[in-house]
Structure 1
Amino acid sequence: MDTSLNYATLLEITSNYVFFYPLVMTHVWMIGALLYYLKWERVQPATIKLAHYPPVSILLPCHNEGDNIYETIGWLLQQDYPTFEIVAINDGSTDDTGELLDHLCTLHPRLRVVHLAENQGKAMAMCVGALLSNSDYLVCIDGDALLEVDACTWLMSHFVHPHVGAVTGNPRIRNRSTLLGKIQVGEFSSIVGLIKRAQRVYGRIFSVSGVVAAFRKSALAEVNFWTADMITEDVDVTWKLQRAGWDVRFEPKAKCWILMPETFAGLWKQRLRWAQGGSEVFLRNIGIFLHWNQRHMWLMFLELAASLVWVYATVSLAVVAVAAFLLGHAPALGPWHLVLSTQNTFFVLIISSLVQFSFGLYLDSHYEKNLWKTYLWIIWYPFLYWMMITCATFVGFPKALFKKKGQRAIWTSPDRGFKS
């Protein structure tokens, strides 16, 4: 057996997978988003009125949100929705969040406050809020988010369909004073929004946005609400609802303005958490193929598995390339040649990504003016973010694999950068 030939063949297969997988998925997402636009978004009215406005409970889990809580609740109180309450859950804050909430509670009768003595994590805080809420429908946002005045109406418009269990909104980034902030503005339009549109067409959404989502309480009760030991409770609850047969939708007009990290350290911490959370969901749902009645989730699981394989294939290829270079292989010989031979494919991938960015920005330009100004910055996404996401997943999967069973995911104060 010619081991060198087998090695070269394996390396070529790995190299092709590394470059063709994102190329194929780019076109899958663009085609799906185009179908979404043609089927729903293009004909959607600018404003909406509901025939019936069922009461809504807005859950606001808080941990050390003293700097943001006044602004966040101020925006919530302006909701253009006739019947709603705000349930703020102070989850063991060590700053003045509790005192500020108590003061706001005396001023605004729509606001109720629950204090948890210890930091028990966002999932547990929302479970407590859901159980204490008075409504059959929940709108959940983060303690530093600003919800657009018509967001509840747009989210609730989907619940006229009895099979809808959750609706995810459209997060928009409001801090963009640095290069990282500007890149993330483009990312949420050309990557996150585009993928959610496509997933809605293909039938299953990977995750609601934890910062803005609405739920039917009976659907949550059926799946035992949020899971306290999952580091990304939003991904986990989305999978649980869809595995139980509930439909999850995306509503781009339900906008919510959010703060995102604007330092590399903060961004790495956030993406590592996301990567670990996705890996935890992968491991928890690995037996899904044993259930024929959940075959509607098989493709979603296979795509998640394929993305994890892509990360480790990319890292392996990088290690081989570096090793080949250090060992002095000529560019035309050995494994280094196989890596370089993909340069044309890489160029095609970059062009496809730029087309995807353009299309995503066009779709979201209906909801945010001057979005095209971020295009100059989003072109750095392939170089900066692919590398960070790959590294985060490479580290995050082992963290999920060896995580202590039942370990509760508690809050840590995020790096939110600067408001602008």
Structure 2
Amino acid sequence: MTERLLAFLILCLVAGAPFGAALMWTGNLILDFVFFYPLFMSGLWTFGGLYYWLHWERFWPWSPDAPPPTLKGTPWISILIPCHNEAEHGADTVLSALNQRYPHVEVIAIDDGSTDDTGAMLDRLADTHARLRVIHLARNQGKAMALRMGALAARSEYLVCIDGDAILHRDAAVYLAAPLVDHPRVGAVTGNPRVRTRSTLIGRVQVGEFSSIVGLIKRTQRVYGQVFTVSGVVAAFRRGALDRVGYWSLDMVTEDIDISWKLQRDHWSIFFEPRALCWILMPETLRGLWKQRLRWAQGGAEVFLKNLPGIRAWRHRRLWPMALEYCVSTIWAFALALSMALWTTGLFVALPGHIQVETLMPPAFTGMALAAACLLQFCISVFIDHRYEHGLFRALYWVIWYPLAYWLIGLLTTLYGFPRVMLRRHRARARWNSPDRGIKAPTS
């Protein structure tokens, strides 16, 4: 009952804050927040990413053919690959893990109740590769359980976790493990996923998203100390840190967001390693993209509500900027929805002046500033990322359309997913659902 009451109060706060603002302020002031918030975040991500590059990244040597860094003591690295119905793409993923140039690597593939030929495919690979071990789970237990089983079977303290359809760069594992080896308080390292599904407009636009938005967000969050989530498709963990926090939760829709917060609540740091490249498959249909982003939105809401009561303590103050950013972005979604509702209502009914929204078009100056900020953001992100992926400038045309899609998708998934999570009584075991993996997946 207490948790349900807390959820109800938070919902009132999030949904009611813009409504209360509408009663106190003019509709134009609400629109100022609606339009200026994306402008502010674009500027924050741009300058945060640029600072990260100037302070750290530009001094890091990297090229596709450069030798990988040397790890102190040459420890073993365990690469965990949870698989569910990956018969089509799984072999390439396993081989990319086995072909790491760092010699002390073991690969553990976990077949989590697949209903296709995934298990047989993994067994055939294990027969010819001594460093590959396969764990078979009788039925679908979910990615979190598969990762748990892999972690318990691993021989190394350093665990690199990738999805069953991802392709690792040949030095990605060692780049991910290096911060764990060099910094004893680092609990996880998130890699740099790159999109390889580009046969539709949706796929091409996501190429720009992962450079100009996701990459800059990770860099910016690393600058102010906390990362909202590791990339679930490619990340490394210290097993001792996982053991302290109880490993991955079995009832969370997005286990990657949850483990990130659990580690940081236990005062472990999370680093971002842009040189740890991983080529991934992304949805290329609207239906697939909606399902993916709705799952992300629901997962973020679950983790936020789960952790909100516990992070109020002063010892968790480093998590406050991350929580505040999530709160404001959620309020923005409801503020925009309220503005649209008031504008639509005003077309048919005469509303009081203090809640009248006359237009949803931004002022000319605001629109120009937002367009200029987005263009600057794209140019800086392409400049930073071009050494990791050639040809990014060719994607610039598609990238400039992404802000509209990014904020629109964020709006819709938040409006649908946040209340859905808050009003749900119980969380069930999170299990696999085969995602949309694109129409055409060229290799890197």
TM-score of the aligned structures, taking structure 1 as reference length: 0.95
Amino acid at match of 2:295: R
- Does structure 2 conserve the Cα–Cα contact (< 8 Å) formed by 1:325 and 1:336? no
Q: More deviation in 341-350 or 153-162?
A: 341-350
> What is the CA distance between 1:337 and its match in structure 2?
2.5
Aligned to 1:15: 31
> What is the CA distance between 1:175 and its match in structure 2?
1.0
Structure 2, unpaired ranges of 5+: 1-20
State the alpha-carbon separation in 2 of the partners of residues 83 and 76 from structure 1.
Answer: 12
- Taking structure 1 as reference, are residues 73 and 391 closer, same or farther at Cα in structure 2, changes over 3 Å only? same
Correspondence list, 1:120-135, <5 A: 120-135=141-156
2:257 is aligned with 1:235: yes
Aligned to 1:77: 98
State the alpha-carbon separation in 1 of the partners of residues 315 and 434 from structure 2.
Answer: 40
Match of residue 407, structure 2, among 374, 378, 386:
386
* Post-superposition CA distance 1:270-314 (Å, at most 9, x none): 000001011111101111343211111111111111111111111
Aligned to 1:400: 421
- Taking structure 1 as reference, are residues 111 and 39 closer, same or farther at Cα in structure 2, changes over 3 Å only? same
Match of residue 29, structure 1, among 35, 41, 45:
45
- Does structure 1 conserve the Cα–Cα contact (< 8 Å) formed by 2:28 and 2:357? no
Structure 1, unpaired ranges of 5+: none
Amino acid at match of 2:168: L
Amino acid at match of 1:392: T
- Does structure 2 conserve the Cα–Cα contact (< 8 Å) formed by 1:11 and 1:338? no
- The DSSP-based 3-state class of the residue aligned with 1:230 is coil
Aligned to 2:314: 292
- Taking structure 1 as reference, are residues 362 and 396 closer, same or farther at Cα in structure 2, changes over 3 Å only? same
TM-score of the aligned structures, taking structure 2 as reference length: 0.90
> What is the CA distance between 1:315 and its match in structure 2?
0.9
> What is the CA distance between 1:268 and its match in structure 2?
0.3
Amino acid at match of 2:151: A
- The DSSP-based 3-state class of the residue aligned with 2:358 is helix
* Post-superposition CA distance 1:319-368 (Å, at most 9, x none): 11222234489xx9982436446453233222211211111111111100
Percentage identity across paired residues of the two chains: 50
State the alpha-carbon separation in 1 of the partners of residues 141 and 436 from structure 2.
Answer: 20
Match of residue 236, structure 2, among 202, 214, 231:
214
Aligned to 1:369: 390
Match of residue 50, structure 1, among 70, 75, 98:
70
Match of residue 152, structure 1, among 154, 158, 173:
173
Q: How many residues were matched structurally?
A: 414
Correspondence list, 1:222-261, <5 A: 222-261=244-283
- Does structure 1 conserve the Cα–Cα contact (< 8 Å) formed by 2:187 and 2:268? yes
- The DSSP-based 3-state class of the residue aligned with 1:368 is coil
State the alpha-carbon separation in 2 of the partners of residues 356 and 288 from structure 1.
Answer: 35
2:200 is aligned with 1:182: no
- The DSSP-based 3-state class of the residue aligned with 1:42 is helix
State the alpha-carbon separation in 2 of the partners of residues 346 and 288 from structure 1.
Answer: 40
Aligned to 2:378: 357
Aligned to 1:314: 336
State the alpha-carbon separation in 2 of the partners of residues 213 and 129 from structure 1.
Answer: 14
* Post-superposition CA distance 1:97-122 (Å, at most 9, x none): 11111111111111111111111111
- Taking structure 1 as reference, are residues 341 and 415 closer, same or farther at Cα in structure 2, changes over 3 Å only? closer
Root-mean-square deviation over aligned CA pairs = 1.9
* Post-superposition CA distance 1:206-231 (Å, at most 9, x none): 11000000000000111001011111
- Does structure 1 conserve the Cα–Cα contact (< 8 Å) formed by 2:334 and 2:415? yes
- The DSSP-based 3-state class of the residue aligned with 1:140 is strand
State the alpha-carbon separation in 1 of the partners of residues 232 and 172 from structure 2.
Answer: 15
> What is the CA distance between 1:400 and its match in structure 2?
1.5
Aligned to 2:56: 40
> What is the CA distance between 1:200 and its match in structure 2?
0.8
State the alpha-carbon separation in 1 of the partners of residues 137 and 71 from structure 2.
Answer: 38
Amino acid at match of 1:85: E
